[in-house]
Amino acid sequence: GNSVTQMEGPVTLSEEAFLTINCTYTATGYPSLFWYVQYPGEGLQLLLKATKADDKGSNKGFEATYRKETTSFHLEKGSVQVSDSAVYFCALSDLTNAGKSTFGDGTTLTVKP
Partner 1 sequence: GAVVSQHPSWVICKSGTSVKIECRSLDFQATTMFWYRQFPKQSLMLMATSNEGSKATYEQGVEKDKFLINHASLTLSTLTVTSAHPEDSSFYICSARPDEYPLNTEAFFGQGTRLTVV
For 106: left if phi > 0, alpha if psi spans -120 to 50, otherwise beta; the answer is left
Tally Cβ neighbours within 10 Å of residue 101: 17
* Shortest distance, position 81 Cβ to partner 1, whole Å: 22
Report d(CA 51, CA 56) in Å as an integer.
9
Q: Is 82 helix (H, G, I), strand (E, B) or coil?
A: helix
Indicate which single residue of 1, 41, 69, 70 sits in contact with partner 1 (rule: CB under 8 A).
41
* Shortest distance, position 6 Cβ to partner 1, whole Å: 9
Indicate which single residue of 31, 63, 84, 111 sits in contact with partner 1 (rule: CB under 8 A).
31
CB 23 within 8 A of CB 36: no
Nearer to partner 1, 16 or 105 (CB): 105
* Shortest distance, position 113 Cβ to partner 1, whole Å: 23
Indicate which single residue of 49, 62, 63, 88 sits in contact with partner 1 (rule: CB under 8 A).
49
| Ordered DSSP codes for 4-33 | EEE----EEEETT--EEE-EEEE-SS--EE
| Contacts with partner 1, residue ranges (CB under 8 A) | 29, 31-32, 34, 36, 41-46, 49, 51, 89, 93-95, 97-101, 103-106, 108
